[in-house]
Structure 1
Amino acid sequence: MAGRVLRRFGAALATLLAASILVWVMLMAAPTDPVEGILRARGILEPDPYQVAAMRTELGLDDPPVLRYLRWLAAWFHGDFGVSWKSGRPVAEEIAQRLPATALLTGVSMLMAVVASVLLGVTAASCHRRAWDTVVRVITLALVIVPSFLFGLLVLNTVVLRLKWGRVVADGTWLTVWWPALTLACGAIGYWSRVLRASVLEALSAPYLLVSRARGASLTRQVFVHALPNALPPWLTIVALGAAGLLGGAPIVEAVFTWPGVGAYTVQAISAGDAPVVLFYTMVAITTFIVVSLLTDVLVTVLDPRLRTPTAVAS
């Protein structure tokens, strides 16, 4: 098991390094020159060539790309995440100011998604090939297909504006988190519910459950005592990776609901060409996904004895 974990850890580091290079190259290859936009954001509306040249020197934009990447990577390892080109403030301060709102949004969204997907997935599996199973499959398929921004606009237009259930502008508090969190959770609810339904149905078809049925065990006992514990390990892997993936959808939802979080700030940074902020958010999202993937792999290995066999470890 230790060898398996070390190999996964090495692969995670290699993946993170490759992702950092790819993200850096994509941002640096952007056709826009950020210098004039930075100067205008700092109050210099008509910069002269000398001011432009001085700003390029300050940002190190005239240095070779490899040197700039290595300098940025070294700064990250020392906890220096750069300075926002737009505001002139350290990126860490800008992010820390907005992090509580994003943490609240993703936490509530995660809770909604887990509770709803367990209820829908277990209900559909328990009512296999009956009306409730069909209803749940239709609902979850719709949740998977409909983009989060479209669902958010529908909620704003119908529920908030017409029915007056909530506020148009979210303020980052518990009072306004529910609709943005539900919008962010919708895709996860649909996908996780379908995965859990399939896992429970597969567990219910196992040969050992024939003995349980022959002894007269109720459907509730078959599902919750026998099937669900065996269905959880693969489902937990999907949930953990999906939880990290919620960061990817947060900017869209935060922008739709004007949620004052890191995601909406990143959308503004993309529009302004603020590369340090975009790099920070992208790398944090990638790092979170890789770390959660690694921890999930270790957790599933601990929960599933089959993965601790010599054959499984060798893989």
Structure 2
Amino acid sequence: MFSALLRRGGQALLTLLAAAVVVWSLQLVAPGDPARRVLGTLGFANPTDEQIAATRHELGLDVPAPQRFLRWLSDALTGSFGTSWRTGRPVTAELADRLPATLRLAVVALLFALVLAIPLALIAARWRGRVPDIGARTVMFLGAATPSFVVGTVVLELIVLRGGIGRVLADGSWGGAVLPAIPLALGAGAGWARVLRTSLVEVSDASFIQVSRGRGATPLRRLLVHAVPSALPALLAAIGLTVGSLLAGAAVVETVFTWPGIGRYLIEAIGARDVPVVQATVLLGVLGYVVVSTIVDGVTIAITGKAKR
């Protein structure tokens, strides 16, 4: 078990290093001169060559690329990502302002997704092949197939604008996270329900389930007491694998609901070609994905005694 955990940790570090290289390389392929863009945000519409040269030196653009990368990586390890080209504020400070709102949205969406996924999977597995199973699988299919921005737009139009429930301009509070969490939870919960149902159906045919049936255990007891614990690693794996899609969906949903989180911050930075902000937010997203995936792997290893394949 320890060797499997150690291997997962090494893979996580390699993933973060590769992501850091890719993220840093964004400044090499971004169009335009960063020095001119920074001077433009400061009000210098037609900067002189001396001003451009001084700004390039201040940004460290006058040193070789490998040296710039090592300096950037060293700063990133200490939590420093430079200054936003758009606002002139430290990127770390702006991320700190928006991170709590994104975490609130993620927590509420996670809870909603679990509330949707577990009952759907239990209903489908308990009445496999019958009408409840067909209905539950239909909900799973529709939830997984509908893009989050479509669900978000419908929620915004029907509930907020027409129903008068909630706010058009979200404030980042726990209560304000309820409606934006629905589009994220629907897609994730539907996917998790499908995985959990499949695992429950497979486990239900196992020999130890048949033994419990022979001992007189009711169908509900066989499902909840015997099948669910054995199917839990599959659900954990599904949660870990969908973290990336949740992060991508959060960026879209935050934009739809004007949620003051990191996802909307990233979309705005991409539109403004604010490379330091894009670098920081993408790397933070990769870090979140790696951390959650590593935790899920660790829990799965602890439960099953072996790493999931």
Normalized against structure 1, the TM-score is what? 0.91
1:212 aligns with 2:212: yes
Counterpart in the other structure of 1:238: 238
- CA change 1:25–1:160 in 2 (3 A) is same
1:171 aligns with 2:166: no
Measured against aligned partners, the alpha-carbon deviations of 1:227-253 in whole angstroms (never above 9, x if no partner) come to 111000121122234346523322111
Which residues of structure 2 form unaligned runs of 5+?
none
Counterpart CA distance in 2 for 1:250 and 1:144 is 15
Counterpart in the other structure of 1:251: 251
Counterpart in the other structure of 1:90: 90
Counterpart CA distance in 1 for 2:288 and 2:174 is 25
Counterpart CA distance in 1 for 2:159 and 2:66 is 51
Counterpart in the other structure of 1:119: 119
Counterpart in the other structure of 1:227: 227
Query: Shift of the alpha carbon at 1:119?
Result: 1.2
Query: Shift of the alpha carbon at 1:72?
Result: 0.4
The within-5 A match list for 1:1-315 is: 1-243=1-243, 245-305=245-305, 307=306
1:127 partner letter: W
Query: Shift of the alpha carbon at 1:96?
Result: 0.9
Counterpart CA distance in 2 for 1:72 and 1:15 is 17
Aligned residues: 309
Counterpart CA distance in 2 for 1:27 and 1:134 is 50
Measured against aligned partners, the alpha-carbon deviations of 1:91-114 in whole angstroms (never above 9, x if no partner) come to 111111112111111111111111
Stretch deviating more after TM superposition (86-95 or 224-233): 86-95
Counterpart CA distance in 1 for 2:87 and 2:72 is 19
Query: Shift of the alpha carbon at 1:280?
Result: 1.0
Stretch deviating more after TM superposition (196-205 or 35-44): 35-44
Matched-pair contact (CA < 8 Å) for 1:34–1:273: no
Measured against aligned partners, the alpha-carbon deviations of 1:152-203 in whole angstroms (never above 9, x if no partner) come to 1122122222222222221112332111011122210110010011111111
Matched-pair contact (CA < 8 Å) for 2:233–2:304: yes
- CA change 1:174–1:302 in 2 (3 A) is closer
- SS of residue paired to 1:166: coil
1:262 partner letter: I
Matched-pair contact (CA < 8 Å) for 2:26–2:279: no
**CA-atom RMSD in angstroms:** 2.0
- CA change 1:269–1:119 in 2 (3 A) is same
- SS of residue paired to 1:173: coil
Which residues of structure 1 form unaligned runs of 5+?
none
Stretch deviating more after TM superposition (92-101 or 78-87): 78-87
Counterpart CA distance in 2 for 1:201 and 1:296 is 22
- SS of residue paired to 1:81: coil
Stretch deviating more after TM superposition (65-74 or 192-201): 65-74
Query: Shift of the alpha carbon at 1:125?
Result: 1.0
Measured against aligned partners, the alpha-carbon deviations of 1:107-164 in whole angstroms (never above 9, x if no partner) come to 1111111121111111111121111111111111111111111211122122222222
